[in-house]
Structure 1
Amino acid sequence: MSNFIIGTCGHIDHGKTALIKALNGFEGDTTKEEKERGITIDLSFSNIAKDDKNIAFIDVPGHEKLVKNMIAGAFSFDCVLIVVSAVEGIKPQTVEHLEILNLLGVKNAVLVVTKKDLINESELDKKLIEAEEFITKYDFDLKFSMGVSIYDEACIENLKEKLFSLNASTKIQENFFRYYVDRVFSAKGAGTIVTGTVLGKPIAVNEQIFISDIQKESKIKNLQVHGVDAPMANISNRTAINLSNVDAKNIKRGFVISKKGYLRGFSSIDISFTALKDKLLHHNRHYSVYIGSRKIDAKVLLFNSEDSLSNGFASINSKEDIFSIYDEKLIIRDGNFTVAGGVVLNPVSDPMKKSQKLHLLEALKDKNIPKAYLILLNAHKKGLGLISSAQRFALSHQEALINAKELQNCFVDEKELIIYPISTKEIIYNNIKSIYTKNSYALLSNTSIKLRLKWASEGFIQLVLNELVEEDFLIKDGNLYKNANIKEDFRSSLEQIMLKRLEEENISPTAPYNIYDNLDIDRKMGDEILKSLCSKKQVIRLQHNLFIHSSCLSGLVNDMKNIIKKDGYINIQNFKEKHPLSRKYLITYLDYLDNFSEIKKQENKRVFKGI
């Protein structure tokens, strides 16, 4: 079934809610306050379906003080139903709604002049022409226009048929599921339920989702699409999600639900903006920023001016994290006045110089992704991860790789999804060469080197290792690399080096991994060497990470027995007086004494048997 969303716009009392009721029987103004005041206060949601087509309606309030609620629904419109009263014509809130929708990039539009029963046919034709001419000031694709009366069943049916004939779906499948919460409540027997519009990708019952704003995972217990249980919800479906293991009190309108690992939140994002006619956006001023169904109080910092601009680039700085994606639209308001519309260019906060950032924003505005990569690489010389491309550029990983491969003088690790400037290879090259120059008996694998150069991918490290082998500086031995100038048996030499190291460390040996790193030995090889030394009884293993030279241990045992002879016992206190070691060592060595037949344990002391 195809789905698209039609949202209303227009001045208060021009008949938006009544028109929706005439189309599908849905009463939008249901709250006590709405009924008392006779106006729509919050968003209402309904639908009509025919054959394989479903149209969801979002009815928005027309009062000037409720524009924030209008914006919360408008971001998901595929088409706008512009409602103009035949009696009053275009009014201020009609204008502001049109301006906001234009800034949000809504293109498809339908014009309906309501209350046609209150004027004659010639006046209706005149009102239609006036409204159409006014709408041409904006960047809408007007599909059709007509006059209606909610009391004329034939014209309502005609409007329905025209709406069903539209091909108005504008949302495309993205790289991951996104969903802005516009309502949240708790239902008896069900628990927490949120409503919103499915964006990006479909979702299904039992899927794991992630509530970004509170960093919490949840499972979808149930889905309802327009009040009917459904196993799956598709893009543009108005959908209620029944969440497990989440308290409704912890979720608010504007929260973003997605899949874990796709969205990161940042307190600063960068945008391009265009102000409305006769309006300016001021530098270093606080505004209300509307993105999706969320309102954020933020400071706006202009890039090109310390005063004000009608268009340009700006940073949105907030005290709360913003979970946005590339090319997402937003609205900037000052109190009750709409000032500008923006497009998210950089949803990921990068440590960059202002001049670099400006070049990046220019490239992103032009959708020149390869150029954006190059600029980012200047700020991320130790690798730019493509894993974030879904959020940063609205690209799949495959699309991100295609763009990355257009770059020159770069290394693209397709497996780990990272781009490196090829000049960075020199850092890896010098680092490896330094290890093997300082320690001729170094024996490392690719993995061991990555532990030292955490920013470098194994693919990039391998490129350097292959070059060093070609230069006859290194020799590959299995998955290990050794100095090409050393001809003797490496294993035998390393055993002696390891044994000597443990002998020097005496009774306070360091953990094996620290020894391996210090001696530039691969960890797996190091484990094998220690295992061999233990089998030869040259080294004794006392704990998982405590190995001691056998002669050092023998000397210590003699000291411990002498303490018992002198004091009649040994415990932590008198043992530490002779050997001021950490408690870890003291307890381990006292426990080792229990292996000797002449020693027995009495509470926290060791003594000789028969004494």
Structure 2
Amino acid sequence: MRHLVVGTAGHVDHGKTALIKALNGFEGDTLGEEKKRGITIDLSFSHMQDQNTNIAFVDVPGHEKLIKNMIAGAFGFDATLVVIDAREGVMPQTNEHLEILNLLKVPYIIIALTKCDLVSQEKINDRVSEIKTYIDTFAHLKLKAIVPVSIYLPKSIALLKEELFGLPIVQKKSNGLFRYYVDRAFSLPGIGTVVTGTILDGEVKAGDKVFVAEQNQELIVRNIQVHEKDVPCAYTSQRAALNLQNPKQTLSRGLLLTTKGYIKGFTQIDVWFDSISGQKIEHNTQMMIFIGTKQIEVKVLLYEEDAQIRGFAKLQFGQKIYTVFNEPFILSLSGRVVAGGMVLNPVNDPIKKRLKLPLLKSLAKSDFSAAFKILVTMHKRGFGLISSNQRFGIGHEKALLLAKEMEHIFIDEKGLVLYDISVKRELEEKIMDIYKKNKYAMLSAKSLCLKETWASETLISDILEKLSKENRLLLDNGIYRDPNIDVKDVQTVIQTKIFSMLLDEGVTPKAPYNIYDALDIDRKMGDRVLKKLTSAKKVKRLQHNLFVPFESLIQLMTHLQQIIKNEGYIDIALFKVYYPNLSRKYLIAYLEYLDTYPTIRKEGLKRVFI
């Protein structure tokens, strides 16, 4: 079954709602206020289908003050059925709707020339010619057909149905990432929270977890309905109602549901904009943006102040907004649509203008290879491809394929990170400096990652392998060492150094990992040395990361017993008086060790002699 989302648009009173009822029997104006005023206020939804195709209709308002609802509906359309009264022709709202559809690049337009039974055939012919000429003025609109109709002429309705069912499937660019804007949210007795919307990309199954981006909450999809029927799964371009399990925060229109971990929010993004009818946008203008079903205020900052009709701009928001590459939007000022465009850079990178414009120009052409080069150059400590879905609208596999075509970069396929090749030389020098300063350094790729936290283990491993091949380092049981030193001597030296450091620190020893880092020793090797020192009764392990030389420990225990003899007891407070530099962690550990002495008894929080 093919699934299409078709919007109905046009001037007020040109017959959209009546036409939909003639097509499928659905009466869209069901809200009391809609019935009372005789116009469509909010988005109405219905569908019709034949053996092969299901068409979901989104009937959007035509009244000029309700233009924001029209914009909300236009996102996700595969085609639009535009109604034009044969008697009146193109009217102001018709024009505004078509301007919006053109900005959003809705693929196909079918014109329903309504109320044709009230005009002559000559008038109909004139309208058809007039409309064709008019549609040609829009760069992104494809006119599929103009069908003269009347709700009182069944044959005309049948012809319109034939055109609608004959709409081609639009192959939308997809990376499989589930995205869904909420256009309605409500609660039903015995069912709970239900949201409706159009699946813009990916799919959702009953039992899946969906992430409400703006609220940072993950919810389970209990049930899915498509056109009032329970289904196990809903797909791209389907309108779906989702029953969500126990949201902690109230859901509302404009929220984005997606897959957790793929889309981050930012307070500013970069875009390409194009204005309607040559209207100018001034730099630093406060406007209203419509994106998906979301409507919020935005400040527009032009990258080139002389490009006020079309060009690149930065959009600044008062809250985080969750967008993806090539996502369409509309800008309005004082309630009137001024411009629209596409999101180019949905991730806020701290890039200087001299790099930002080349990046945006590359993204505008979908030249991701050029964009990669700029981003890798800018992100000296690694550019992550984990965000490729959001940044470029492509999956990780395709992003890696593009990266492999590039020169002068290192690719960490496992970590999905790209590094400029110059970083390898810089890191190689840092690693060799460690061994020059400490000839007994014994490090692995993992331990070096702890020193250079920005570098991935894959990158460091590649550098260490190169140094090993050049005989500048020697790989010995997973550890890299200076090839010119005696292996037996290394073990002795390391054990001596660790024990010496512990003796120097006395009863306030550093955590083992800090000792290893200070001595340039791999953690696994350090753990083995500490285990040997413990077995040899040189060191006592009091807690997971607390190792104390026996010599220091016995001296402390002797002093604590002397305090008990003089004071009659010892507790944390009194212990702190004598040892003000000891933290609570040490105080508790030493008192618990004191409890192992046969001459000591614990009374409440105090220790006394038996």
Q: What band does the TM-score fall into relative to the shorter chain?
A: over 0.9
Is 1:30 aligned with 2:30? yes
> Shift of the alpha carbon at 1:141?
1.7
Q: SS of 1:146's equivalent? A: strand
Q: What is aligned with 1:428?
A: 427
Q: What is aligned with 1:240?
A: 241
Q: SS of 1:250's equivalent? A: coil
> Shift of the alpha carbon at 1:573?
4.6
- Does structure 2 conserve the Cα–Cα contact (< 8 Å) formed by 1:171 and 1:236? no
Which whole-Å CA distance do the structure 1 matches of 2:607 and 2:337 have between them?
Answer: 82
Alpha carbons of 1:309 and 1:233: their partners in 2 closer, same or farther (altered >3 Å)? same
- Does structure 2 conserve the Cα–Cα contact (< 8 Å) formed by 1:175 and 1:394? no
Q: What is aligned with 2:145?
A: 144
> Shift of the alpha carbon at 1:415?
1.1
Alpha carbons of 1:574 and 1:5: their partners in 2 closer, same or farther (altered >3 Å)? closer
Q: What is aligned with 2:80?
A: 80
Which whole-Å CA distance do the structure 2 matches of 1:85 and 1:576 have between them?
Answer: 89
Provide the TM-score with structure 2 as the length reference: 0.97
RMSD (Å), alpha carbons? 1.5
Q: What is aligned with 2:207?
A: 206
Q: What is aligned with 1:102?
A: 102
- Does structure 1 conserve the Cα–Cα contact (< 8 Å) formed by 2:201 and 2:237? no
> Shift of the alpha carbon at 1:574?
4.5
Q: What is aligned with 2:536?
A: 536
Q: SS of 1:281's equivalent? A: coil
Is 1:157 aligned with 2:179? no
Alpha carbons of 1:529 and 1:185: their partners in 2 closer, same or farther (altered >3 Å)? same
> Shift of the alpha carbon at 1:465?
0.5
- Does structure 1 conserve the Cα–Cα contact (< 8 Å) formed by 2:114 and 2:149? yes
- Does structure 1 conserve the Cα–Cα contact (< 8 Å) formed by 2:201 and 2:235? no
Is 1:224 aligned with 2:216? no
After superposition, residues 347-496 of structure 1 pair within 5 angstroms as 347-489=346-488, 490-496=490-496
Q: SS of 1:101's equivalent? A: helix
Which whole-Å CA distance do the structure 1 matches of 2:42 and 2:567 have between them?
Answer: 85
- Does structure 2 conserve the Cα–Cα contact (< 8 Å) formed by 1:263 and 1:391? yes
- Does structure 2 conserve the Cα–Cα contact (< 8 Å) formed by 1:175 and 1:395? no
Which whole-Å CA distance do the structure 1 matches of 2:333 and 2:574 have between them?
Answer: 75
Is 1:295 aligned with 2:295? yes
Q: SS of 1:339's equivalent? A: strand
- Does structure 1 conserve the Cα–Cα contact (< 8 Å) formed by 2:101 and 2:141? no
Q: What is aligned with 2:333?
A: 334
Q: SS of 2:98's equivalent? A: helix
Listed one character per residue, the Cα deviations across residues 267-326 of structure 1 (whole Å, up to 9, x for unaligned) are 101011111123111110101111111112000000001x66111100110101111111
> Shift of the alpha carbon at 1:329?
1.0
- Does structure 2 conserve the Cα–Cα contact (< 8 Å) formed by 1:381 and 1:424? yes
Which whole-Å CA distance do the structure 2 matches of 1:573 and 1:413 have between them?
Answer: 53
Listed one character per residue, the Cα deviations across residues 17-67 of structure 1 (whole Å, up to 9, x for unaligned) are 110110000000111111111111111111001112101111111111111
Q: SS of 1:309's equivalent? A: coil
After superposition, residues 238-277 of structure 1 pair within 5 angstroms as 238-246=239-247, 250-277=250-277
Is 1:169 aligned with 2:170? yes
Alpha carbons of 1:395 and 1:530: their partners in 2 closer, same or farther (altered >3 Å)? same
Which whole-Å CA distance do the structure 2 matches of 1:250 and 1:494 have between them?
Answer: 60
After superposition, residues 488-507 of structure 1 pair within 5 angstroms as 488-489=487-488, 490-507=490-507
Alpha carbons of 1:601 and 1:246: their partners in 2 closer, same or farther (altered >3 Å)? closer
- Does structure 1 conserve the Cα–Cα contact (< 8 Å) formed by 2:332 and 2:338? yes
> Shift of the alpha carbon at 1:103?
0.4
Listed one character per residue, the Cα deviations across residues 211-252 of structure 1 (whole Å, up to 9, x for unaligned) are 1010110010000001111111111111001111215x6222
Q: What is aligned with 2:310?
A: 311
Q: SS of 1:278's equivalent? A: coil
Which whole-Å CA distance do the structure 1 matches of 2:52 and 2:383 have between them?
Answer: 45
Q: SS of 2:269's equivalent? A: strand
State the one-letter code of the partner of 1:395. I
After superposition, residues 5-154 of structure 1 pair within 5 angstroms as 5-138=5-138, 139-154=140-155
Which whole-Å CA distance do the structure 2 matches of 1:200 and 1:547 have between them?
Answer: 55
Listed one character per residue, the Cα deviations across residues 528-573 of structure 1 (whole Å, up to 9, x for unaligned) are 1111111111111111111111111122222223333444443345
Alpha carbons of 1:61 and 1:605: their partners in 2 closer, same or farther (altered >3 Å)? closer
- Does structure 2 conserve the Cα–Cα contact (< 8 Å) formed by 1:220 and 1:243? yes
> Shift of the alpha carbon at 1:598?
2.5
State the one-letter code of the partner of 1:220. V
State the one-letter code of the partner of 2:232. P
> Shift of the alpha carbon at 1:577?
4.1
Q: What is aligned with 1:579?
A: 579
Which whole-Å CA distance do the structure 1 matches of 2:141 and 2:571 have between them?
Answer: 87
> Shift of the alpha carbon at 1:8?
1.1
Which whole-Å CA distance do the structure 1 matches of 2:31 and 2:564 have between them?
Answer: 86
> Shift of the alpha carbon at 1:596?
2.1
Alpha carbons of 1:568 and 1:38: their partners in 2 closer, same or farther (altered >3 Å)? closer
Alpha carbons of 1:4 and 1:184: their partners in 2 closer, same or farther (altered >3 Å)? same
> Shift of the alpha carbon at 1:256?
0.6
The count of residues paired between Structure 1 and Structure 2 equals 607
Instruction: Mark the runs of 5 or more structure 1 residues left unpaired by the alignment.
Output: none
- Does structure 2 conserve the Cα–Cα contact (< 8 Å) formed by 1:273 and 1:341? yes
> Shift of the alpha carbon at 1:142?
1.3
- Does structure 2 conserve the Cα–Cα contact (< 8 Å) formed by 1:108 and 1:168? no
Q: SS of 1:392's equivalent? A: helix
Which whole-Å CA distance do the structure 2 matches of 1:577 and 1:523 have between them?
Answer: 36
Which whole-Å CA distance do the structure 2 matches of 1:463 and 1:254 have between them?
Answer: 46
Alpha carbons of 1:39 and 1:504: their partners in 2 closer, same or farther (altered >3 Å)? same
Which whole-Å CA distance do the structure 2 matches of 1:592 and 1:168 have between them?
Answer: 75
> Shift of the alpha carbon at 1:499?
1.2
- Does structure 1 conserve the Cα–Cα contact (< 8 Å) formed by 2:227 and 2:239? yes
Is 1:186 aligned with 2:151? no
State the one-letter code of the partner of 1:589. Y
Which whole-Å CA distance do the structure 1 matches of 2:578 and 2:207 have between them?
Answer: 64
Provide the TM-score with structure 1 as the length reference: 0.97
- Does structure 2 conserve the Cα–Cα contact (< 8 Å) formed by 1:267 and 1:321? yes
State the one-letter code of the partner of 1:469. S
Which whole-Å CA distance do the structure 2 matches of 1:215 and 1:311 have between them?
Answer: 35
- Does structure 2 conserve the Cα–Cα contact (< 8 Å) formed by 1:61 and 1:69? yes
Listed one character per residue, the Cα deviations across residues 96-145 of structure 1 (whole Å, up to 9, x for unaligned) are 10111000011211111000111122221222221222111113221111
Alpha carbons of 1:155 and 1:498: their partners in 2 closer, same or farther (altered >3 Å)? same
- Does structure 2 conserve the Cα–Cα contact (< 8 Å) formed by 1:171 and 1:199? no
Which whole-Å CA distance do the structure 1 matches of 2:47 and 2:56 have between them?
Answer: 4
Q: Which moved more, 1:553-562 or 1:152-161?
A: 553-562
Q: SS of 2:400's equivalent? A: helix
Q: SS of 1:443's equivalent? A: coil
Which whole-Å CA distance do the structure 2 matches of 1:516 and 1:433 have between them?
Answer: 18
What percentage of residue pairs aligned between the two structures are identical? 47
> Shift of the alpha carbon at 1:585?
2.0
